[in-house]
Structure 1
Amino acid sequence: MTTLVLASASPARLATLRSAGIEPRVAVSAVDEPAVLRAAGAVPPAQAVLLLAQAKARDVAPGHPGTLVLGCDSMLELDGEVLGKPADAAEAADRWRAMRGRSGRLHTGHWLVDARDDGRDVGGEPVEVGATSTTVVHFADVTDAEIDAYVATGEPLWVAGAFTIDGLGGSFVRGVEGDHHGVVGLSLPLLRDLLARRDVTVTALWTLLPS
């Protein structure tokens, strides 16, 4: 049986996989994300999230031989500026005042390390594949009172871009162009494509089938 390891502490990513019938192992990486980005220098947001996803998957993979290890990372791009998790409530509120009534691009990097015995290259190293999902997000023209109430819940402090689409913040998203799973933090269609590149069907990972 093929086992998927999710190299992420994100409850939303875990819930997304479970909703798709996949029960992964969870192993949180110890990657220093700012250090990875400093080493990369000036790179576009879509590449930055891919580098972070790669670093997370590579950090976790050695401890999970015989599995497929998936790393992910997300960033919101607004007017060319990259917005990760806000530092505090004040920054989250400022972000929302800048985002309301406008549109941003949510980039989610995915990196898959094939640590199975038959997934290694001729040199014995795990084969790796990766790609980035990009979705345009249209934000509602929310009021100051709505922003203050949302920030007070604490939800926007834990996610890239200071919003969720699958929680309280879903009321403030007018629509998306692209895969909405990518906005949650893990694109299921893209995962299927990456698995296929390693000759694995997504159905081979189904364990949580409805009774």
Structure 2
Amino acid sequence: MPHPTSSTTPVALVLASQSPARLATLRAAGIEPQVVVSDVDEEAAVAQARAAYGELEPADVALLLARAKCEAVASQVETSTLVLGCDSVLELDGEVHGKPADAAEARERWRRMRGRSGVLHTGHWLRDERDEDEGGTGATLGATASTTVHFAEVTDDEIEAYVATGEPLRVAGAFTVDGLGGAFVTGIEGDHHNVVGLSLPLLRELVAEVGVGWFVLGRG
């Protein structure tokens, strides 16, 4: 693995995600990325992969979609940069759950989740699109972070009120830990940033693989 550079020259980062929570997580860590949203058809991408390789593990679905988003955006980027794609899914009873399709699905999801535990998988895929004379490696690599989430015994009325806010319809797993749904998460095992949608420790490892130091990433 290349040693992270000791250079103080900032390395630009493009975030291939429209998630406000991922952007806020990066900004809180001192990283200011450019946001470019991909046009990936997630259902089609997963269906194509299943047709080619058979059933996928939930963690593999997250990584597959993270890579698809990263590569779609990398093909559009014209500047020397690193490109990061992310995608999250909730595993419950061995099944993959992304964003609910509608309020009815969100309510049913919460009836299954309450009082139980699930695993939130977030795939991270990184492409080094920097020019060679700026230290670019041309590498493309990824990994998935997984965090166990314990849910409260919420009532039917609480589920109804939460779904009415619209928040569960906008996020993978139909819950947040950093928003309105935080009161319904009684504990987590693993990286809490990962539940928000982006594991900072894993990102640090990925950028180190391409020789980039944490304190130059997305700075300046």
Q: Name the counterpart of 1:85.
A: 99
State the Cα distance separating 1:206 from its structure 2 match.
5.5
Structure 1 stretches of at least 4 aligned residues deviating more than 3 Å after TM superposition: none
My pick for the range that moved more, 112-121 or 83-92, is 112-121
Q: Secondary structure at the match of 2:173?
A: helix
Greater RCO (Cα-Cα under 8 Å, separation 6 or more): 2
**1:39-95 deviation per Cα after TM superposition (whole angstroms, max 9, x unaligned):** 111110111111110010101112223100000000000000111100111110110
The answer to whether structure 1 residue 154 and structure 2 residue 166 are counterparts is: yes
- Unaligned stretches of 5+ in structure 1? none
The answer to whether structure 1 residue 181 and structure 2 residue 193 are counterparts is: yes
Q: Distance in 2 between matches of 1:186 and 1:110?
A: 8
Aligned positions of 1:22-61 closer than 5 A? 22-41=31-50, 42-61=55-74
State the Cα distance separating 1:127 from its structure 2 match.
1.2
Q: Name the counterpart of 1:197.
A: 209
Q: Name the counterpart of 2:155.
A: 143
- In angstroms, what is the RMSD of aligned CA positions? 1.2
Q: Distance in 1 between matches of 2:105 and 2:56?
A: 24
Q: Name the counterpart of 1:16.
A: 25
Q: Distance in 2 between matches of 1:136 and 1:25?
A: 30
Q: In the alignment, residue 49 of structure 2 is paired with which amino acid? A: A
Q: Distance in 2 between matches of 1:95 and 1:205?
A: 37
State the Cα distance separating 1:202 from its structure 2 match.
1.2
Q: Distance in 1 between matches of 2:219 and 2:165?
A: 34
Q: Secondary structure at the match of 1:141?
A: coil
State the Cα distance separating 1:129 from its structure 2 match.
1.2
Q: Secondary structure at the match of 2:120?
A: strand
State the Cα distance separating 1:18 from its structure 2 match.
0.5
Q: Distance in 2 between matches of 1:167 and 1:38?
A: 31
The alpha-carbon distance between structure 1 residues 9 and 75, as it changes in their structure 2 partners (threshold 3 A), is same
Instruction: Select 2:81's aligned residue among 39, 64, 67.
Output: 67
Q: In the alignment, residue 186 of structure 1 is paired with which amino acid? A: L
Q: Distance in 1 between matches of 2:89 and 2:75?
A: 26
Aligned residues: 204
Q: Distance in 2 between matches of 1:60 and 1:103?
A: 34
- Unaligned stretches of 5+ in structure 2? 1-9
% identical equivalent positions: 67
Q: TM-score, normalised by structure 1?
A: 0.94
Q: Distance in 2 between matches of 1:13 and 1:151?
A: 22
State the Cα distance separating 1:117 from its structure 2 match.
1.0
